């Protein structure tokens, strides 16, 4: 008997994906650079299903039914290229290489084009949900050629998370589309986490609540419109007490957030596309600020002056923070979805944004009830320019507005950094503005660089002769 699918790269993610396929009744071919991991998997989990382990790449390939489906789950970057170089010569036209690691979408585009020339299907598939998701049902975002989905999709849909029986897996679009969407998913995850962290900080510093009390507040929020995996685990983390010291866990952890890079990639891609993903950018920068130990030490040594949190608030802080969190979250998602739409247009991917919201409802880190509303918004209006003008989100944000402003103002007045809340609000006000000071910037650009400007009252490009006495306007 041959295997329906193979997995090469059997560290924690690959091992769990392989087990997931096997638990769904598929025969799974196994391979890893070093045979130890393959052997271990079969010894520990062999009873879970049918596995065909191979020591060599050639035996592994030979153990697969055609068209061959080879999932690569190795370290992103050079290792992925090394594995592709090893397997491509062993495969035949119509076979599929599926990169399920966290590849950069431009690498995926490059690899897809190179393998297409050899008649191979290369599928860059975003997989979210961490090791638990890989085992019990991740959210899967496969890109690559549409026809490969016919032979591959059903297997991926089998192992994906389900919502009301519907799989969290859909063909996203050609070449790098799947990895792009996975990248933006991670960027949104960064923003979500930063906003939650700011909410916690305000409840603690302005509200004077202890972490255990804040855990209860989050548990309450989790029952409402903010209900999501990230809110749920935040409550768990805040409840945690350090066994050694008896202190809240959050107080014994070094306050320097690390990152593996997908948030940064999202912002870099957004800069290239010209999409203002300020919520994601602020969250990446906030992590970088937290991790800048030298700069923070210099600031501490200089005792940069500022207000001490007053622990007072005119209003219902808890309710206001919930509103500010929800509104800021809407902005971050609106920006992320705008980025997906911009890339889809740029690369001709034809991504259905509503379908992305749909497959993020379970399995992945940003899973939330909230995504249902995003799906509905795009189902109603696929060409929606921004989620902020959809009825549901417009209502939510206008309802939250007063509270959002009070919270951002309190943070600023009491000297508590809340870049996520503040920048989301600034973005919202920027969109609302009838006139922006961008007109002045155009004037400055024309002054020093003769970059020209457009007028509100007539067509054409104009330049003012700033260096002359009468500063006459001319057609440019």
The residue from 65, 146, 147, 182 that is catalytic is 182
The only residue of 82, 113, 271, 293 in contact with ligand NDP, by rule CB under 6 A = 82
Q: CB 342: neighbour CB atoms within 10 A?
A: 17
Residue choice 6, 53, 101, 178 for contact with ligand NDP (CB under 6 A): 101
Complex with ligand NDP: residue 14 or 187, whichever CB lies closer: 14
In angstroms, the CA 104 to CA 88 distance is: 20
Among the listed ranges 12-20, 116-124, 163-171, 243-251, the one in contact with ligand NDP (CB under 6 A) is 12-20
Active site annotation includes 189? yes
Answer whether the bond into residue 89 is a cis peptide, omega within 30°: no
Q: Which tokens in the block code for residue 4? A: 């329906």
Distance CA 458, CA 98 (A): 54
**Residue 229 or residue 404: which is nearer to ligand NDP going by CB?**
229
* Minimum CB–partner distance for residue 33 and ligand NDP (Å): 3
Q: Does 102 bind ligand NDP (CB under 6 A)?
A: yes
Q: Which C-beta is closer to ligand NDP: that of 12 or that of 426?
A: 12
DSSP H helices, 255-352, are 262-273, 278-291, 293-302, 317-347
DSSP-derived pairing of the beta strands 121-128 and 162-163: unpaired
- With binding defined as CB under 6 A, does residue 79 bind ligand NDP? yes
Nearer to ligand NDP among residue 265 and residue 313 (C-beta): 265
For tokens 């010569």, what's the residue?
89
Q: Is 182 a catalytic residue?
A: yes
Beta strand 139-142 with 121-128 is antiparallel
Using rule CB under 6 A, residue 34 touches ligand NDP:
yes
Cα separation, 371 vs 376, in Å, equals: 9
Binding mask 110-129 for ligand NDP (x = CB under 6 A): -----------------xxx
Q: Which of 19, 26, 31, 37 binds ligand NDP (CB under 6 A)?
A: 37
Indicate the burial class of 200 (C-beta count within 10 angstroms; 0-12, 13-18, 19 or more): buried
User: Which segment (4-12, 155-163, 391-399, 461-469) binds ligand NDP by CB under 6 A?
Assistant: 4-12
Structure tokens at 218: 């989050």
Which one from 44, 112, 162, 189 is the annotated catalytic residue?
189
Query: Which pair of tokens denotes residue 169?
Result: 């897996």
> What DSSP character marks residue 174?
S
- Binding stretches for ligand NDP (CB under 6 A): 9-14, 32-34, 37, 73-76, 79, 82-83, 101-102, 127-130
- Positions marked active-site: 182, 189
């Amino acid at each position: 008997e041959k295997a329906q699918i193979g997995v090469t790269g059997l560290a924690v993610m690959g091992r769990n994906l392989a087990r997931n396929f096997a638990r769904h009744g598929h025969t799974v071919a196994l391979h890893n650079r070093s045979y130890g991991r393959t052997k271990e998997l079969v010894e520990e989990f062999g009873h879970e299903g049918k596995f065909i382990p191979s020591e060599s790449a050639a035996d592994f390939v030979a153990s697969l039914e055609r068209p061959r489906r080879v999932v690569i789950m190795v370290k992103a970057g050079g290792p992925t290229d090394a594995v592709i170089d090893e397997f491509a010569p062993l495969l035949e036209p119509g076979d599929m290489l599926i990169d399920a690691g966290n590849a950069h979408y431009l690498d995926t585009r490059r690899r897809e084009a190179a393998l297409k020339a050899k008649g191979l299907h290369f599928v860059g598939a975003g997989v979210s949900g961490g090791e638990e998701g890989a085992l019990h049902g991740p959210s899967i975002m496969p890109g690559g050629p549409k026809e490969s989905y016919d032979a591959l999709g059903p297997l991926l849909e089998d192992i994906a998370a389900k919502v009301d029986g519907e799989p969290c897996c859909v063909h996203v679009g050609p070449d790098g589309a799947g990895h792009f969407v996975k990248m933006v998913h991670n960027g949104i995850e960064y923003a979500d986490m930063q906003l939650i962290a700011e909410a916690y900080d305000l409840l603690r510093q302005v509200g004077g609540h202890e972490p255990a009390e804040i855990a209860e507040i989050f548990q309450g929020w989790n029952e409402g419109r903010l209900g999501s995996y990230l809110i749920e685990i935040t409550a768990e983390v805040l409840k945690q007490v350090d066994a050694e010291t008896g202190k809240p866990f959050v107080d014994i952890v070094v306050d320097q957030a690390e990152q593996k890079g997908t948030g940064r990639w999202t912002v870099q891609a957004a800069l290239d596309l010209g999409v203002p993903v300020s919520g994601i950018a602020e969250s990446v920068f906030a992590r970088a600020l937290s991790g800048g130990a030298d700069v923070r030490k210099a600031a501490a040594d200089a005792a940069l002056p500022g207000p001490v949190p007053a622990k007072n608030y005119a209003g219902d802080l808890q309710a206001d923070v919930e509103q500010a969190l929800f509104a800021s979250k809407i902005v971050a998602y609106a920006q992320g979805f705008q980025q997906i739409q911009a890339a889809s247009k740029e690369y001709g991917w034809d991504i259905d944004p509503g379908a992305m919201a749909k497959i993020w409802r379970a399995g992945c880190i940003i899973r939330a009830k909230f995504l249902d509303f995003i799906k509905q918004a795009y189902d109603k209006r696929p060409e929606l320019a921004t989620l902020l003008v959809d009825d549901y989100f417009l209502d939510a944000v206008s309802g939250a507005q007063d509270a959002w402003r009070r919270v951002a103002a309190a943070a600023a007045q009491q000297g508590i950094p809340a870049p996520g809340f503040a920048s989301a609000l600034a973005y919202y006000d920027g969109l609302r503005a009838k006139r922006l000071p961008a007109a002045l910037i155009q004037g400055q650009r024309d002054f020093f660089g003769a970059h020209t400007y457009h007028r509100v009252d007539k067509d054409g490009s104009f330049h003012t002769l700033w260096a002359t006495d009468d500063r006459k306007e001319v057609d440019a």
